[in-house]
Amino acid sequence: MIIVDTPYHVTFDELAELPEFACAGKCRKVWWGQMLKNYPAGKCPLCSGELCRAVEKVHFTVLARANRSLKLSDFQSVQKMDTKDKQTIKNLLAGKSVIHNLSMVKPAFVEKAKAEWC
């Protein structure tokens, strides 16, 4: 599992691999290559901004990385979650879902996200 911090998001992934691409547009989200197969090359699926190669300490910072599956405590350790969000994550994990590139917008940027890339 890996947890990465970007300017506007905290992103979680089951795999411990570093993200390969970063949005240079409005959302600044990171992406793994396998998630971009069905999208136009070089464009961010979230905000349509340009993608570039992701560089650690420039586009993202690794908050946690381990050779294991994600747990609810991983989510709770980096961002305050309301009851609804906790239950959603619990249900995903209990159903043996594989979580890839699940991003939570940082609370300070929720309005920006709604206005610019949602």
Q: Which two tokens stand for residue 75?
A: 């989510």
The secondary structure of 79-92 as a DSSP string is S---HHHHHHHHHH
Taking the domains of the chain in order of start, what are their residue ranges? 2-111
CA distances from 18 to 1, 2, 29, 42, 56 (A): 10, 8, 13, 18, 8
Residue pLDDT tens, the chain, 118 long? 999 999 999 999 999 999 999 999 999 999 999 889 999 999 999 999 999 999 999 999 999 999 999 999 999 988 888 899 899 999 988 887 889 999 999 989 999 999 988 7
Q: What is the pTM of this model?
A: 0.89
Judged by phi (left if over 0) then psi (alpha if -120 to 50, else beta), residue 35 lies in: alpha
